[in-house]
Amino acid sequence: MPQGMQFSEVLEAADHLSPDEQEELIGILHRRLAETARQRLVSDVQAARQEFAEGRCVPTTPGDLMREIMK
């Protein structure tokens, strides 16, 4: 995709695809979004494990956590 392509240009280009191609494009975008979400989750878990390994996590009860959230 060209650098700086506008969203409206992408939509216009998609209009030139056949219905089957549009459905395939939707599937590809959906899978890419899911993969991005998975990668973000992996990154968050790795960061949390690192914080735990470094002792930067403090065990807490659900009640303590809720009190902290409600402040």
* pLDDT averaged per 10 residues, the chain (length 71): 81 97 98 98 97 91 93 87
- Domain count within the chain: 1
Give a yes or no: residue 54 inside a domain.
Answer: yes
What is residue 21's predicted lDDT score, i.e. its pLDDT? 98
Structural domain harbouring 15: 7-70
**Residue 25 · residue 17 · CB < 8 Å:** yes
Give a yes or no: residue 1 inside a domain.
Answer: no
Collect all residues with Cβ–Cβ distance below 8 Å to 5 and sequence separation of at least 6. none
Give a yes or no: residue 28 inside a domain.
Answer: yes
What is residue 20's predicted lDDT score, i.e. its pLDDT? 98
Q: Is the pTM of this model over 0.75?
A: no
Give a yes or no: residue 58 inside a domain.
Answer: yes
Closest CA to 12 of 20, 24, 23, 22: 22
